[in-house]
Amino acid sequence: MGVIIAVLVVAWVIYMIIKKHYPQAILLIAGIVLLLATFFLGTNPILVAKESAGSALLDIFHTIKVLLSSRIAGLGLTIMSIAGFAKYMEYIGASKSLFAVVASPLKHIKSPYILLVLSFFMSQFLVLFIPSHAGLALLLMVTLYPILIRTGVSKLSALGVIGCAQYMDVGPGSGNAILAANICKVDPAVYFVEYQLPIFVTTTLILGVVHYYVQKWWDKKEGFAGYDTSADLVTDESRPPLIYAILPIIPMIFILGFSPIFKSTIKMDVVTAMFLSTFISMIFEYVRTKDIRGTLQSLKYLYEGMGNSFATVVSLIVAGEVFAAGLMKIGAVDAMTIGAQSLGLGVHALIILFCIVIAASAFLMGSGNAAFFSFAALAPKIAASLKIDVVTLLVPMQIMTSFGRVVSPITAAIVAIAGVAGVSPVQVVKRTAIPMAVAALVNVVFILVK
């Protein structure tokens, strides 16, 4: 009975999210329904004795309080500080300066498809410092897109590369990566360097070649004959001095420099790095503007970014964990893992199966965060049942989530860049689908060789 209820609830969740209802509410309601069913079926206690409110029925809602207080104090604060810093960088224009420095050599390249490949590599460098798929994609539409179009790249080829700007959530600034590192109980910098970086570098180099041939093939197939004079060129020349280009990089320097990777005796966590980097940026801003009132007031953008992140990301994590708690308590996870093992598949095949499920979820939801935050909390229990380390399961799942998002025509970044260029999102994902299929195969190879 518990498994039947879980299947019905999961189907309802998928349907409602596809219909673009508020995912936090959907996941929270689904989790409460599952916990309520657990209470009536009497399959498991809702909370352990030391966390219980003293009433099994009240514990259903007390679970939300327990998860929320835990996340805000740790992972939530980390993600909010990252979002706040990103908002401040956007306000002072530092991201534009960073792009101006990185993109400057691109203007001298005449071959449109070579330029396309180099632009893809440059976007993958930028994703380490601008950890937002939609934010980075729109920045590239303002800055890189006009360069590509004027050099003879077709509109859809340019969008295909820009749509893949954050094809993988990597680095200590990524919400998904931070959550994965937290679940795996490793430092975010260690998670990035030891687990993500080898896959990221290998896949990025392969995808550069893939984009060259795929976009060229699509252009020939669709009859693109050269420079598109009707293209809407988006320009924005306003930016601060080029010295501001170092500001988005400072947190990464602190996080990696003061980490176990370099055997540092000084500990620098992500939150500390973000606040320290913000105050350094405020000094730059005061020296540039000589406006003490404006500089002090600019700090509000940090807090606005933190607040927005709580409303969008942290709330989604907690809602996803309530949903995951419901699935675990009602016995659906045990049934799923036992069922998967009964298929007679090996551990590698099961990991690939779970990766496909989460990638499909990201495609249907149009969100890597919604899919990963919904399933990530289940990973430790699934890994334990498969008798593997949780990092062995979670790393490929976290990576595959991004691929599903990039080929979804309802993803925010895809919809946004398609809207700016005046094309259909379906036309854009046609250009991202083959590169992401190749990326998925590379991920599978990494799973098999471990």
Query: In this predicted model, what pLDDT tens digit does every residue of 41-64 receive, in sequence order?
Result: 877 778 777 778 778 888 888 888
Biggest alpha carbon–alpha carbon distance for the chain? 72
Q: Which residue has the tokens 């919904």?
A: 374
What is the model's pLDDT at position 423? 85
pTM over 0.75: no
Q: Decide: helix, strand or coil at residue 42.
A: coil
What is the model's pLDDT at position 344? 67
Rounded distance between C-alpha atoms, residue 218 and residue 423, angstroms: 15
What is the model's pLDDT at position 209? 95
The first and second tokens of residue 160, run together, are 């295909």
- Dihedral sign, CA of 133, 134, 137, 142? negative
- pLDDT tens string, the chain, 450 residues long: the values are 778 888 898 888 878 877 778 878 888 999 899 889 888 887 777 877 777 877 888 888 888 888 888 778 777 787 788 788 888 988 998 877 877 787 677 667 778 889 899 989 988 988 887 777 877 887 788 678 877 887 788 999 999 999 998 899 887 777 788 888 888 888 888 888 889 999 999 999 999 999 999 999 999 998 876 654 444 444 455 678 889 989 988 887 887 788 776 777 787 887 888 899 999 999 999 999 999 999 999 999 999 989 988 887 778 778 877 887 887 788 776 676 677 667 667 788 888 888 888 888 788 767 777 778 777 878 888 888 888 888 888 999 988 988 988 998 878 788 888 887 888 888 999 999 999 999 999 998 988 886
Whose CA is closest to 338, among 321, 350, 324, 356?
350
What is the model's pLDDT at position 227? 54
Whose CA is closest to 429, among 444, 450, 413, 449?
413
What is the model's pLDDT at position 230? 46
Whose CA is closest to 402, among 430, 365, 427, 431?
365
What is the model's pLDDT at position 302? 93
Q: Decide: helix, strand or coil at residue 34.
A: helix
What is the model's pLDDT at position 229? 45
What is the model's pLDDT at position 126? 83
DSSP state of 417: H
Rounded distance between C-alpha atoms, residue 192 and residue 177, angstroms: 8
Give helix 368-375 / helix 390-406 axis angle, nearest 10°.
160
Rounded distance between C-alpha atoms, residue 143 and residue 382, angstroms: 44
What is the model's pLDDT at position 228? 47
The first and second tokens of residue 381, run together, are 């229990």
Q: Do 138 and 420 touch, CB atoms closer than 8 A?
A: yes
How long, in residues, is the chain? 450
What is the model's pLDDT at position 225? 64
The stretches of 42-93 forming alpha helices (DSSP H) are 59-71, 77-92
Q: Do 405 and 133 touch, CB atoms closer than 8 A?
A: yes
Whose CA is closest to 351, among 390, 325, 405?
390
What is the model's pLDDT at position 277? 92
Rounded distance between C-alpha atoms, residue 398 and residue 182, angstroms: 13
Residue 420: which domain range? 2-449
What is the model's pLDDT at position 226? 62
What is the model's pLDDT at position 232? 46
- Dihedral sign, CA of 52, 55, 56, 61? negative
Whose CA is closest to 176, among 364, 438, 365, 397?
397
Q: Which residue has the tokens 């990464």?
A: 252
User: H/E element holding 402?
Assistant: helix 390-406
Total structural domains within the chain: 1
Report the chain's terminal Cα–Cα distance, integer Å: 38
- Dihedral sign, CA of 13, 411, 367, 20? negative
Rounded distance between C-alpha atoms, residue 169 and residue 176, angstroms: 7
What is the model's pLDDT at position 231? 45
Whose CA is closest to 404, among 448, 375, 367?
367
